[in-house]
Amino acid sequence: MGYKVVVVGATGNVGKEMLNILAEREFPVDKIAALASRKSLGTEVSFGEKTLKTQDLDTFDFTGWDIALFAIGSDATKLYAPKAASQGCVVIDNSSLYRYDPDIPLIVPEVNADDVVRYKNKNIIANPNCSTAQMVVALKPLHDRARIKRVVVSTYQSVSGTGKEAMDELWNQTKGMYVPGQEVAPSVYPKQIAFNVIPHIDVFLDSGDTKEEWKMVVETKKILDPKIKVTATCVRVPVFVGHSESINIEFEDYLDWEEATEILREAPGILVVDKREAGGYITPIECVGEYATYISRIRQDETIENGLNLWCVSDNLRKGAALNAVQIAEVLGQRCLKKG
Catalytic positions: 130, 243
First to last CA, the chain: 5
Number of Cβ atoms within 10 Å of the Cβ of 51: 10
Number of Cβ atoms within 10 Å of the Cβ of 185: 8
Torsion from C-alpha of 139, 144, 150, 156, nearest 10 degrees: 0
CA 325 centroid distance within chain: 8
Strands 307-314 and 293-301: antiparallel
Question: What is the per-residue DSSP string for 97-109?
Answer: TTTT-TTS-B--H
- Residue 260 neighbours by CB under 8 Å, 6+ apart: 142, 145, 298, 308, 310
